[in-house]
Amino acid sequence: MSMIIDGKAVSAKVKENVRDEIAELKKKGITAGLAVIIVGDDPASKVYVRNKKLACEFCGIDSYEYALPAETTQDELISLVKKLNADERVDGILCQLPLPEHIDEKAVIDNISPDKDVDAFHPVNVGRIMIGDYRFLPCTPAGVMELIASTGVEVKGKECVVVGRSNIVGKPMAMLLLHNSGTVTVCHSKTKDLAEHCRKADILVAAVGVPKLITGDMIKDGAVVIDVGVNRLENGKLCGDVDFESAKEKASYITPVPGGVGPMTIAMLMKNTLAAAKMKAAE
């Protein structure tokens, strides 16, 4: 029977540490500010933005919200981004995804200053992650690393399997495990015999967006299982990419959905905003 990794508890510790550091910066006259842009009325995005605002309040980070109508043009959005790039109050800029279909997400991300790109999506920051010389880490993969660390299990020398190859989670997740000296396999929709690869994993990260794809018989005895997936079933309940009930019988540690990786993403955003403020103060 596995130990449940409590993402809420781990994220609370991260935010408390950020709050303490922000308080120390304020004593020196340094403030941290996060600008969050949301375009349109996507309900899930609204929830995320509200949670980010609450996290900023807890940590002592100034929060600037820009809620734009769905018909906002790409040029108008990029104009706002450039304005925030030049705003001294703003240390981090986050543009909530997904954007409406008529806006090119890549064009918007490319216009965010790499120094304020607290999502770590800009090509400059992606390249820095590749070579291991990073200033910010993508929030979800960074959160996963914190959860693994909380178990006391060392990544070095472990067989690590990442299921999913997205730019936001899968690819950077593989790089972070590699930077920590894990031996990494990345699986995806074209992988032959996914189960065979998963059974080799000492550390298994599922981030593919397919409900209950990973079942207990695909998991090595004693593996650490991190479930990044968030899927809504027909009955309205949330579930991950891992079949929790069967997987918990095999794993040594496992994250639940919800309450596992989710809370970590916002906590790591706070940590990145703190890093941006410290970086600016050091200039």
User: What is the per-residue pLDDT across 21-42, written as a single tens digit (0 to 9) for each?
Assistant: 999 999 999 999 999 999 998 8
Q: Classify domain 139-262 by CATH number.
A: 3.40.50.720
- Tens-digit pLDDT profile for residues 107-145: 999 999 999 999 999 999 999 999 999 999 999 999 999
**In 192-238, which ranges are continuous DSSP H helix?**
194-198
Is 6 among the catalytic positions? no
| Assigned token pair, 195 | 């189960």
Q: Classify domain 29-113 by CATH number.
A: 3.40.50.10860
Catalytic residue among 15, 52, 158, 212: 52
CB 170 within 8 A of CB 160: no
CA distance 228 to 240: 7
Catalytic residue among 15, 91, 96, 243: 96
Catalytic residue among 115, 117, 119, 202: 119
pLDDT at 283 over 80: no
The pTM of this model reads 0.95
CA distance 155 to 147: 12
Could you state, in order of their start, the residue ranges of all structural domains in the chain?
Answer: 29-113, 139-262
Is 96 among the catalytic positions? yes
Phi/psi for 253 (5° steps) reads -135, 145
- Which secondary-structure segment (H or E) carries 92? strand 92-95
**Whole-angstrom Cα Rg for the chain:** 19
Is beta strand 253-254 parallel, antiparallel or unpaired with respect to 62-68? unpaired
With CA atoms as reference, report the closest residue to 205 among 145, 246, 121, 248.
145
